[in-house]
């Protein structure tokens, strides 16, 4: 089995998986919709108390068992093996719509570089969203097929430093904007009333899991390529802090822009594609800013897409004995098929299901609901079903981490799943 070349190689890949559209596109959107500062506080709490212990569990189980998610679940208990495929289906479903949005960022990047003035409305009135989705899927497939070191590790080693560089430069630029103070106040001042709102708790918790990418077998898979001498606890904390840093910087970039140009902070998913381009238009160096912003989004999206694909690649190559190339080709085709309806839902076809655009429906079903279910499965399987001696020392030695992963995480997940199920009905 391939290995990361070094501790840094693993860190870059794990940060690459964590930092993605979830930080730069989804996070500010959700903060905006859930009233700002209070949400941010709950997000930090969920992150440290629940997402981080689950990350340590996943990475250490991966390294200990050296198994893909299907085999690892089968190891915990035979009957659970099939549920590993469910995890693969859910991650592929997340990937399918994630790549549609990644495609939009790629298209916007190219438009800014070429100097074309096209609005989101015009963009989705063409079939460019489908073409750019296909391009994003193919690029992801090619990187993944090139291998753990030559593909995944190497792309992360270029793109991750770039992502942080752009974020920092843009955040510094934001401090010069007239709306900086108002933007930051909105982002960071908690409104105590919203702390009583269950919806905000559920959203913050879900976002922390989505952002770190825990509970989906990704960190487990990345853990299988980890060498023995790396300290998992320290590495996990580093990844978590860098992920929080990326979301926080994104907040510092986006809210000052929103408040400087009188935009709506609760604009939803269209914030990055509709509102911000309007802001860039009115700025002297708007074209460079726009190009940098979309280069940032696309790079972050690509490294996360690669990780989402890797769960299934690892499962298929090791359980079915396929080569990485073949697996990559097959899985990319599956993703293209699964993602096409999402791509078409933001095109002249306006594909809707029950009054929702297909992409939004996928985000709700797979990205919000499905993710919680697989996280519950993983946290229960590796703390309750796996015999105690098999639980890695990194987790069992710390009472706090162990009880968080064994009791607190499943309990909170069960509560939130019930809450979401009631809402759905």
Site for ligand TRP, rule CB under 6 A: 17-18, 20-23, 94, 210-211, 213, 216, 218, 304, 307-308, 371
CB nearer to ligand TRP: give 107 or 371. Answer: 371
CB nearer to ligand TRP: give 275 or 374. Answer: 374
Cβ 211 to ligand TRP shortest distance, Å: 4
Give the other-Cβ count within 10 Å of 97's Cβ: 25
Cβ 60 to ligand TRP shortest distance, Å: 18
Return d(Cα 215, Cα 334) in angstroms, integer.
22
Cβ 128 to ligand TRP shortest distance, Å: 22
Return d(Cα 45, Cα 205) in angstroms, integer.
9
Cβ 103 to ligand TRP shortest distance, Å: 15
CB nearer to ligand TRP: give 17 or 46. Answer: 17
CB nearer to ligand TRP: give 371 or 381. Answer: 371
DSSP string of 290-340, one letter each residue: HHHHHHHHHHHHHHHHHHHHHHHHHHHHHHH---HHHHHHHHHHHHHHHHH
CB nearer to ligand TRP: give 91 or 292. Answer: 91
Cβ 9 to ligand TRP shortest distance, Å: 18
Do residues 307 and 143 make contact, with C-beta atoms less than 8 angstroms apart? no
CB nearer to ligand TRP: give 10 or 402. Answer: 10
Give the residue nearest to ligand TRP (CB).
Answer: 22
CB nearer to ligand TRP: give 177 or 308. Answer: 308
Return d(Cα 247, Cα 371) in angstroms, integer.
20
Task: List, in order, residues 6 or more apart from 378 with CB less than 8 Å away.
Answer: 54, 57, 58, 73, 87, 215, 216, 217, 220
Return d(Cα 183, Cα 347) in angstroms, integer.
32
Cβ 209 to ligand TRP shortest distance, Å: 7
The angle that helices 81-114 and 128-145 make with each other, rounded to 10 degrees, is: 120
CB nearer to ligand TRP: give 72 or 177. Answer: 72
Return d(Cα 128, Cα 100) in angstroms, integer.
11
Phi, psi of 35 (to 5 degrees): 80, 20
Cα radius of gyration rounded to whole Å, the chain? 20
Cβ 287 to ligand TRP shortest distance, Å: 26
Specify the DSSP element, H or E, that contains 387.
none
Cβ 285 to ligand TRP shortest distance, Å: 27
């Amino acid at each position: 089995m391939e290995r990361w070349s070094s501790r840094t190689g693993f860190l870059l890949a794990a940060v690459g998986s964590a930092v993605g559209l979830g930080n730069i596109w989804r996070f500010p959107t959700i903060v905006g919709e859930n009233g700002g500062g209070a949400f941010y506080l709950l997000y930090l709490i969920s992150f440290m108390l629940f997402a981080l212990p689950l990350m340590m569990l996943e990475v250490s189980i991966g390294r200990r068992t050296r198994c893909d998610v299907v085999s690892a679940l089968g190891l915990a208990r035979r009957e659970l093996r099939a549920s590993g495929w469910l995890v693969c289906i859910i991650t592929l479903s997340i990937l399918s719509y994630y790549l549609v949005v990644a495609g939009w960022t790629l298209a916007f990047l190219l438009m800014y570089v070429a100097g074309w003035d096209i609005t989101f409305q015009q963009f989705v009135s063409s079939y460019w969203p489908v073409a750019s989705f296909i391009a994003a899927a193919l690029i992801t497939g090619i990187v993944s097929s090139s291998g753990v070191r030559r593909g995944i590790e190497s792309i992360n080693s270029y793109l991750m430093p770039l992502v942080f560089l752009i974020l920092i430069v843009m955040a510094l630029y934001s401090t010069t904007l007239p709306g900086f103070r108002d933007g930051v106040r909105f982002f960071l001042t908690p409104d105590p009333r919203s702390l009583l709102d269950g919806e905000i708790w559920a959203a913050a918790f879900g976002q922390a899991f989505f952002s770190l990418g825990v509970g989906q077998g990704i960190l487990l898979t990345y853990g299988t390529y980890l060498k023995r001498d790396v300290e998992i606890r320290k590495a996990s904390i580093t990844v978590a802090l860098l992920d929080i840093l990326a979301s926080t910087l994104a907040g510092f970039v986006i809210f000052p822009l929103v408040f400087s140009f009188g935009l709506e902070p609760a604009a939803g998913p269209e914030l990055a594609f509709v509102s911000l381009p309007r802001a860039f238009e009115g700025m002297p160096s708007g074209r460079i800013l726009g190009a940098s912003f979309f280069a940032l989004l696309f790079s972050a999206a690509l490294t996360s897409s690669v990780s989402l694909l890797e769960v299934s690649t690892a499962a298929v190559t090791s359980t079915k004995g396929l080569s990485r190339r073949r697996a990559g080709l097959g899985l990319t085709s599956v993703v293209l098929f699964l993602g096409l309806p999402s791509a078409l839902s933001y095109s002249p076809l306006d594909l809707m299901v029950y009054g929702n655009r297909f992409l939004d429906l996928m985000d709700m079903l797979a990205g919000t609901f499905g993710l919680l279910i697989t996280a519950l499965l993983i946290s229960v399987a590796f703390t309750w079903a796996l015999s105690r001696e098999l639980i890695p020392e990194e987790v069992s030695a710390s009472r706090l981490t162990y009880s968080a992963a064994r009791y607190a995480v499943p309990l909170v997940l069960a509560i939130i799943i019930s809450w979401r199920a009631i809402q759905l009905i």
